[in-house]
Structure 1
Amino acid sequence: MLIATNPYSGEKIAEYPALNDEQMRERIALAHQAFPDWQASSYPERAEVLRAVAGQLREYKSELAKLMAEEMGKPVKEGGPEVEKAAWCAEHYADHAASYLANDVLPSDASLSYVCYQPLGTLLGILPWNAPLWLAFRYLAPALMAGNTCVMKHDSHVPACALVIADVFVEAGAPDNIMVNLPLTTPAVEKAIRDPRIAAVSFTGSSTAGRKVAAAAASELKPSVLELGGSDPCIVMADADLEQAADIVTLSRIINAGQSCIAAKRVIVEDSVYDDFIRRLKPRLEALKSGDPRSPDTDIGPLARDDLRQNLHRQVSETIAAGATCLLGGEIPAGDGYFYPVTLLTDVTPDMCAFREETFGPVMVVTPAANLDVALHWPTIPTTASAPASGQAMPKSPSRRPPV
């Protein structure tokens, strides 16, 4: 069974049946059987379907935002924009897939040489809980517009979100089974990867799980696309606009209660502006409101699971014990739900836990650096996370931009 739990209350919402092996194979077969007709469709025909799906997403935006709040704790003020972003993604690829996938003519001594992009077949997308709509459509929209059919194995903590995504395709009038929902428990995923009808795999999630997905796909000689977590750096340079930098860092770190692969998880600040930057950053963090994610006034909801909260608290505690200063938060609050307070850790050094490990929650980790060369070097120090999923440097003068 797949159990949906409300992270705001800690109470079980509902149970959903997971597929057994035979049912899984039957679902994959449906998507595989739908591939020839979908492959033969034109770009305008596929685009019409994706635009209809985008319209259905917008029609149910408020309901979808509430559902994300209930299943994984995302505030509705963020959930609504996520639905819009998913709809935009569907429309973007509907508008641009034909040009993105046009033949590339290559110079050669032959009469004509070109690269032709063709669909692979039936794809498997393994998705995380932290952006249930956006990350689903980041996989589905380009894959479908390329002529593939898609099997979606969503995270087991957002089963209702997965069902609604599948329903959206039906209500939009999409051809049968071009997108098939695959509610599986984690141990069954490897069997899906190895199913001979699956042509390739897309995975978004942790580095630990990504290694297992990559190994299974590679052993079957199937291509895989991996978007893994990372401890992303943000460098604040001495000539930066510190007010703007504090705004950007706050938004980047705190969105989705800090549970984002591309959040600014390590803020590295040049010494000469370090104290001034902290002085501007702290009140911004203090002003954030934690609470019921269904309330439009809530800035920060609970973490998605209690085990995530316990691990985050371990990281914070070890970092403080190693000598970091905790200016805000740092303690698990009393009461229901999986809340963790907005926490500000300063004077963090590269040997401390919160610098070496990816922190997945509302914890701001700030490190002083003697100069820009040091600041640029520190993110390259090996950590327990995968390579950063993103990074940014904030100078005011274009001449100080680091080389790309």
Structure 2
Amino acid sequence: MENTIKESSVKTVNPFTNKTTKQFDIMDDAVLDTKIQNADDAFKLWKKSAFSDRKNLLKKVANIMRERKVELGALVTLEMGKLHKDAIAEVEISANIFDYYADNGEKFLADQPLETPIGSAFLSYEPLGVLLSVQPWNFPFYQITRSAAPNVMAGNTILMKHASNVPQCAEEMENIFKEAGAPKGVYQNLFIPGKKASELVADKRIKAVTLTGSEPAGSAIAAEAGKYIKKSTLELGGSDAFIVLDDANIQEAATAAVIGRMWNSGQVCTSPKRIIVEEAIADTFLEKVKEEFKKIKAGDPMDPETTLAPLSSEKAVENVIKQVEKAAKEGATIVLGGKRIDREGAFMEPTLLTNITPDNSAYNEEIFGPVFMFYRVKNEEEAIQLANATDFGLGGSVFSGNEKRAQNVARQIVTGMVYINHLTGISPELPFGGTKGSGYGREQSPAGIYEFVNPKLIRTTTTSNPY
């Protein structure tokens, strides 16, 4: 079947078997133009729709997702290899986010009175128009949801350019919106290459763009948005620090670090990619990590007993192995793993790296796979310095038995999110986003609905004096 795949297509390649199961043709310019026009036409009506109508739509989307979570989860597993139990959880959190904005959107977007000494004033939050959303494959439904839920509730319309290796998930999300009763053009999926997505930013009918993905992709999108003076948000890579202070519960921290790093086979922007441990407990911590590694079981992602799924593709495995091999040549120690697993599918051994110095490529790169990078530091100050020694700034964790101490450390880490005694998590009411090379803007929480609305000032006064 591989030999029959067209070059001008997006396709599902099951990473558990490396077999192609389905393909879709790339949309031609005529089809694409029609979809953009549909989105623009829909916006003219959707922006005037009642909040109750928007709420009902999002509620129906959430209900459909919950009713079909096992089926939708299996589709995620098929296309990018995620453990089925984790894929089901992803669908559930996505449904929760749709519910969150359905329940709170009207309140968030209510007129905001402003104090002024003369007359009265308020902010009116008004939708911008057609939003181009460019999303990655590692959380196929969750990534869609983070931009779709708040913006549909705000009155914008969505053109979704999803990753090319999850086309069935992309198509299914549009089907769910249709089943929920979305008016034509409110939410549409685009089968187009990434380069085409950047070109679309120039279209006057598209008013803003959001992207989650790599730094090069984010840079390209941001450059186009800046060129045409359009609002953009970016959520890019991460090299999150996981700091373990000497007063932490060592077993809890070690277990959390391994689970967090191996979650989704290490293909998570907020995965704890740099585990930084104070010298006093470093040896004990490392031994407990090795014990946790022994519990990892690679296998069929549909099997509930499996704890390590394949990576998303053969290319992904090859790239991660090259990074590990390069790090070893530059002086890092491969304590465990480092190779692909000798079996069918895109599997890599869970890998433990130590002795990573500042001149090592792994010190600065994001490794998007099951690679646990261990650092030992003399003290808390050195831990903070190492945590900040990166161009990224997405998430992070601090483990300590003293909450005030942990919070003090967290305040000194230059990043978008820090969790105390917990992995960087997901919850509808908590903002998600980063700083530095990890991008800008926020999704989820009240902040997520304000990114693509115009906070228009409306003022009433009895004087003609403008001051």
Q: TM-score, normalised by structure 2?
A: 0.84
Partner of 2:91: 83
Which consecutive residues of structure 1, in runs of 5 or more, have no partner in the other structure? none
Separation in 1, partners of 2:360, 2:293: 22
Report deviation, 1:21.
1.5
- Cα deviation 1:252-278 (Å, max 9, x = unaligned): 211111100111000111111000111
Partner of 2:419: none
Partner of 1:2: 10
Partner of 1:36: 44
Work out whether residues 336 and 353 of structure 2, in 8 Å CA contact, stay in contact via their aligned partners in 1: yes
Aligned partner of residue 255 in structure 2, secondary structure: helix
Matched, 1:122 2:130: yes
Separation in 2, partners of 1:110, 1:205: 47
- Cα deviation 1:78-130 (Å, max 9, x = unaligned): 00000001100100000111222222222222311222211001111001000
Separation in 1, partners of 2:255, 2:122: 47
Matched, 1:185 2:190: no
Work out whether residues 54 and 91 of structure 1, in 8 Å CA contact, stay in contact via their aligned partners in 2: yes
Separation in 1, partners of 2:16, 2:40: 39
Separation in 2, partners of 1:285, 1:148: 46
Work out whether residues 239 and 390 of structure 2, in 8 Å CA contact, stay in contact via their aligned partners in 1: no
Matched, 1:241 2:249: yes
Separation in 1, partners of 2:242, 2:351: 17
Separation in 1, partners of 2:273, 2:375: 11
Partner of 1:159: 167
Amino acid aligned to 1:21: D
Aligned partner of residue 155 in structure 1, secondary structure: coil
Distance of aligned partners of 1:56 and 1:399 in 2 relative to their CA distance in 1, 3 Å threshold: closer
Partner of 2:102: 94
- The count of aligned residue pairs is 401
Range with bigger deviation, 146-155 or 186-195: 186-195
Equivalent of 1:228 in 233, 236, 247: 236
Equivalent of 2:55 in 25, 35, 47: 47
- Cα deviation 1:232-254 (Å, max 9, x = unaligned): 11111011111111122122211
Partner of 2:444: none
Partner of 2:440: none
Partner of 2:395: 390
Separation in 1, partners of 2:328, 2:267: 21
Partner of 1:26: 34
Separation in 2, partners of 1:226, 1:28: 22
Aligned-residue CA RMSD in angstroms? 1.3
Report deviation, 1:403.
5.4
Range with bigger deviation, 95-104 or 227-236: 95-104
Distance of aligned partners of 1:89 and 1:403 in 2 relative to their CA distance in 1, 3 Å threshold: closer
Report deviation, 1:185.
1.6
Partner of 1:142: 150
Aligned partner of residue 12 in structure 2, secondary structure: strand
Partner of 1:13: 21
Aligned partner of residue 132 in structure 2, secondary structure: strand
Separation in 1, partners of 2:151, 2:339: 43
Aligned partner of residue 292 in structure 1, secondary structure: coil
Partner of 1:268: 276
Partner of 2:432: none
Report deviation, 1:3.
2.0
Partner of 1:364: 372
Partner of 1:344: 352
Matched, 1:308 2:316: yes
- Cα deviation 1:329-356 (Å, max 9, x = unaligned): 1112223211111111123233322221
Amino acid aligned to 1:98: E
Work out whether residues 123 and 148 of structure 1, in 8 Å CA contact, stay in contact via their aligned partners in 2: yes
Separation in 2, partners of 1:144, 1:307: 35
Work out whether residues 398 and 410 of structure 2, in 8 Å CA contact, stay in contact via their aligned partners in 1: no
Partner of 2:417: none
Runs of 4+ with deviation above 4 angstroms: none
Work out whether residues 21 and 188 of structure 1, in 8 Å CA contact, stay in contact via their aligned partners in 2: no
Report deviation, 1:327.
2.2
Separation in 2, partners of 1:328, 1:110: 69
Work out whether residues 349 and 367 of structure 1, in 8 Å CA contact, stay in contact via their aligned partners in 2: no
